[in-house]
């Protein structure tokens, strides 16, 4: 295995890894699965236009579940995506 050089700063390190493969510096046989329970997924804001009636329905449903309506939208989208992925696998 090659030895990872000491870097003067993050820019130097970033440049190094942009042109080198980590596989040359780490033995994959030593890799271990780790659990990162506090790691939160990166979020990206988007804009989406929905009919007012649909938004009203979503807000009513969210109120019934006692959750914010945007959280309910994320949940419903995640379920829909998972259902579509299952169809593709079948």
Q: Is the pLDDT of residue 56 over 80?
A: yes
Assigned token pair, 78: 């995640």
Among 18-22, 26-30, 67-71, whose mean pLDDT is lowest? Answer: 26-30
Rg for the chain (alpha carbons), in Å? 22
Query: Helix (H) and strand (E) counts for the chain?
Result: 3, 0
The pLDDT of residue 68: 97
Please tell me the pTM assigned to this model.
0.55
Spatial CB neighbours of 62, under 8 Å, sequence gap ≥ 6:
68, 69, 71, 72
Distance of alpha carbon 58 from alpha carbon 67, whole angstroms:
11
Q: Which residue has the tokens 């993050």?
A: 10
pLDDT tens figures, 63-90: 999 999 999 999 999 999 999 999 988 7
73: left (phi over 0), alpha (psi -120 to 50) or beta: alpha
């Amino acid at each position: 295995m090659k030895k990872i050089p000491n870097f003067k700063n993050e820019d130097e390190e970033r440049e190094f890894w942009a042109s080198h493969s980590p596989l040359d510096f780490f033995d994959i046989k030593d890799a271990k699965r780790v659990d990162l329970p506090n790691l939160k997924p990166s979020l990206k804001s988007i804009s989406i236009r929905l009919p007012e009636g649909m938004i009203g329905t979503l807000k009513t449903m969210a109120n019934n579940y006692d959750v914010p309506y945007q959280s309910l939208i994320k949940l419903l989208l995640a379920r829909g995506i998972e259902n579509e992925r299952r169809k593709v696998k079948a």
